[in-house]
Amino acid sequence: MPKIKTPTMSDVARLTGFSSMTVSRALRADTSTSDETRLKILDAADKLGYVLDGTAAGLSSRKTGFVAVIIPSINNANFAFTVRGLTEGLRNSGLQVLLGYTDYKMDEEERLVKTLLTRRPEALVITGGVHTERCRQYLYSSGVPIVEMWDSPPSPIDHVVGFSNARAGRIMARHLYDQGYRKIGFIGGDTDSDIRGADRRRGFVETISDFGLGTDRLWQSDQPVLTMAGGAKAMHELLDQYPDTDAVMCASDLSAFGAMMTCQKRGLTIPDDIAIAGFGAYDISANALPEITTIDVGARGIGTQVAEVIKSSLADKTHSKDPANIDIPTRLIVRKSTAG
Amino acid sequence: MPKIKTPTMSDVARLTGFSSMTVSRALRADTSTSDETRLKILDAADKLGYVLDGTAAGLSSRKTGFVAVIIPSINNANFAFTVRGLTEGLRNSGLQVLLGYTDYKMDEEERLVKTLLTRRPEALVITGGVHTERCRQYLYSSGVPIVEMWDSPPSPIDHVVGFSNARAGRIMARHLYDQGYRKIGFIGGDTDSDIRGADRRRGFVETISDFGLGTDRLWQSDQPVLTMAGGAKAMHELLDQYPDTDAVMCASDLSAFGAMMTCQKRGLTIPDDIAIAGFGAYDISANALPEITTIDVGARGIGTQVAEVIKSSLADKTHSKDPANIDIPTRLIVRKSTAG
DNA sequence: CTAGTTTTTGTTACCGATAACAATATCCCT
DNA sequence: AGGGATATTGTTATCGGTAACAAAAACTAG
């Protein structure tokens, strides 16, 4: 590694004979120089291996080009798709995603918000609508547009692009009921960490309760159950206690798959002996055997919409518009695993 | 959103009566002030809702605290684990991961390297050892430590934390041979985008060729085949052409799972009629029925090691040490899907 | 050809922090 | 008590760009 000092704009300026201001202009798209000088400058910059210092540019222009994005987990296809949608939606605006993940921990989220605000993002996107008080405080006083996504918070901080997770639970409960199932269980974690999973559970329980069905087949844990192994284990326990369960909704397709494997290991046929439903329209639900009924919220589309909200919010100099509140439709995908 | 100007260090300084230099010192761990003033300053900063401007701090100290990390896909559990290991390994050093993904495209990688260098990272981590010429140029002249990971490049740019993908292919080929399979196929993409998958294929082909087996059962595509659906489709085509195939290695556990589903749909029993092996030790391989034989490279551990390499490289002021070249062991996990 | 307009380039003053050095204040020991 | 060492705080310059304004050059039209 040669430890040569990185060239700066002044170096390019010196080489071309222009002032560094002209160099700055030549390197940016929205500013004007004559074509001739621009070419000369680009050429010299290339020759020197000049790379713009975004740190300095951001400090000076008060525009860092960062959009901070906070998701619960980086190892989750749904959030990954949202980030993709976001990244691509922002690319043409020259905005770059600065990603952080919380591991489904609220205090980690708070820490992360603080760290990310340090980078002076032009907007901040956060997953869910429940945060620590101090975290809300940081967000409120950040002075940049905030987007809460993947949820439908009762009192949003600013913009929202999400959906009601409770509604998703209700939709699935109704579907299972419509298919004729009456001994329906749920597998999912508790309230403190996977808040959205817990909301789905709540909607689910409300609905089967409305239908007059028992709500005792609710498996739960103090950890989020969003993994295959977690779903598999939970299903064992549920079946041990309630062997006659005829349908189960899981908080995620991954746990649904695990649960289905458990059933198959125990010699149960899906859906004849027991129906399984998931959430999230992960790859696995479309490729498992049998295919698993799920709910699609268009994870990528959420990202795309968030990008639009951010762009329009940043373009709106007057701050006249009301915060956006976009409701993403939740689409039930009926597959063989619940073919009553 | 109240559009109040964000407070700066001078504001904190004014409020406390100290100079902004003292404020700066009080806010950092490695610098000294008296306990009394530090408390006063922290208190005032809290009251004002002051958040450090990392942009300015980075410009001034020439240390941004960023580590740029480039992975092929954000929607991949293996790379996600590596990023986790990396993030956690760097956390206590105050370094933050700035993540980008290439979608397995070399020109996108080049673009990304340039964009990320703009942010003046203190180190840059990149997946794989094959890059465009211009990209190598950027990396060489960046002046920061570079780590290539997940591969074992013949001529490394700087540090390496990886393994030989060809070796992984060889290990699996030998395993299948040892289990008694003789009509062995491979499902995977081509060289241009999933380079590491192609390397595994190469090692695989070499080995079965050494064993005197035919190398005609090689399914391939001009796209990387790393998805369940891709594996499922490929397996159909492979079986149509070579119905007597008795074992298949796939470039990824995901395609292996898809392939296995295809076999089951066609009435084939795993492993009695046909064996299936994957790569990557994804969750699915441990939870599928039957469980899928795979190769684990300890994705998280790669991240941890990369973090160590970076930390020691940044600590080494004299640049006396040679670049690290860490070989990650590839561990074969034998499961039921190849229980000959 | 000249005044007015537009285009292109330059000058100066920051953006918000920290490094490096300087100046006090405090401490400790003989 | 005095002098050197140490701890604490302040001053100044600077990091590498860009905004805002100013000036020079090129163009336009009457």
For B156-188, how does the pLDDT look when each residue is reduced to its tens digit (9 = 90+)? 999 999 999 999 999 999 999 999 999 999 998
pLDDT for B1 = 39
Nucleotides of D under 7 A from a protein CB: 7-12, 14-20
> How far does the CA of B37 sit from the C1' of C25, in Å?
15
Quote the minimal CA–CA distance from B28 to chain A in Å. 14
pLDDT over 80 (residue B101) = yes
Report which of A266, A260, A198 is spatially closest to residue B284, judged by C-alpha positions.
Answer: A260
Distance CA B39, CA B49 (A): 15
Residue A98 in contact with partner chain B when CB distance is under 8 A: yes
pLDDT for B190 = 67
Residue B287 confidence class, pLDDT cut points 50, 70, 90: very high
Residue B269 in contact with partner chain A when CB distance is under 8 A: no
Tokens of residue A200, six digits:
């789905």
Residue A60 approaches strand D within 7 Å at CB: yes
Tokens of residue A329, six digits:
């439709």
Say what percent of chain A tops pLDDT 70.
98
pLDDT for B218 = 82
Among A190-199, A267-276, B74-83, B309-318, which stretch is predicted with the lowest mean pLDDT? A190-199
Residue B157 · residue B137 · CB < 8 Å: no
Footprint of strand C on the protein (CB under 7 A): A 17-22, 25, 32-37, 56, 59-60, 62; B 5-6, 8-10, 20-21, 24, 27-28, 31, 52-53, 56-57, 59-61
More confident residue, A151 or A340: A151
Question: Amino acid identity, residue B131?
Answer: H
What would the mean pLDDT of A127-146 be, rounded to a whole number? Answer: 96
pLDDT over 90 (residue B32) = no
Report which of B53, B40, B166, B47 is spatially closest to residue A56, judged by C-alpha positions.
Answer: B53
**Nearest nucleotide, C1' to the C-alpha of A34?**
C8
Residue A275 · residue A246 · CB < 8 Å: yes
Does B54 sit within 8 Å of A120, measured CB to CB? yes
Chain A partners within 8 Å of B96 (Cβ): 115
> How far does the CA of A63 sit from the C1' of D21, in Å?
21
> From the C1' of D16, which residue's alpha carbon is nearest?
A56
More confident residue, B217 or A319: B217
Distance CA A101, CA A75 (A): 9
Say what percent of chain B tops pLDDT 70.
98
Chain B partners within 8 Å of A266 (Cβ): none
Residue of B nearest to A318 (CA): B3
Cα distances from B315 to residues B32, B93, B122, B309, B310, in angstroms, run 21, 11, 11, 10, 8
pLDDT over 90 (residue B191) = no
* pTM score above 0.85: yes
Q: Which residues of A95-118 are buried (b: 16+ CB within 10 A; e: fewer)?
A: bbbbbbbbebebeebbbbbebbbb
Report which of A309, A295, A324 is spatially closest to residue A89, judged by C-alpha positions.
Answer: A309
Residue B313 in contact with partner chain A when CB distance is under 8 A: no
Cα distances from B43 to residues A111, B5, B22, B57, B262, in angstroms, run 18, 20, 14, 21, 64
Distance CA B191, CA B103 (A): 15
**Nearest nucleotide, C1' to the C-alpha of A16?**
C9
**Nearest nucleotide, C1' to the C-alpha of B25?**
C18
Distance CA B109, CA B225 (A): 20
Among A84-98, B208-222, B242-256, which stretch is predicted with the lowest mean pLDDT? B208-222
Residue B260 · residue B276 · CB < 8 Å: yes
Mutate to test the interface with A, among B24, B55, B252 (most CBs of A within 10 A): B55
State the Cα angle at A75 between B109 and A80, rounded to 5°: 55
Query: Average per-residue pLDDT in chain A?
Result: 94
Size of interface A-B (CB pairs under 8 A): 132
What would the mean pLDDT of B196-215 be, rounded to a whole number? Answer: 92
pLDDT for B240 = 96
pLDDT for B222 = 72
Does A257 sit within 8 Å of B287, measured CB to CB? yes
Say what percent of chain A tops pLDDT 90.
87
What would the mean pLDDT of B115-143 be, rounded to a whole number? Answer: 96
Q: Which of residues 200-239 of B touch A (CB under 8 A)?
A: 227-229, 232
Element of type H or E holding B333: strand B331-333
What tens digit of pLDDT does each residue of A211-259 get?
999 888 888 777 778 899 999 999 999 999 999 999 999 999 999 999 9
> How far does the CA of B121 sit from the C1' of D5, in Å?
40
Q: Which of residues 68-87 of B touch A (CB under 8 A)?
A: 74-75, 77, 80-81, 83-84, 87
For CA atoms A113, A114, A115, A120, the dihedral sign is positive
> Secondary structure of B281-311 in the HEC alphabet?
CCHHHHHCCCCCEEEECCHHHHHHHHHHHHH
What tens digit of pLDDT does each residue of A29-76 get?
877 889 999 999 999 999 999 999 999 999 999 999 999 999 999 999
pLDDT for B192 = 74
pLDDT over 60 (residue B2) = no
Q: Which of residues 114-153 of A touch B (CB under 8 A)?
A: 114-115, 117-120, 137-138, 141-146
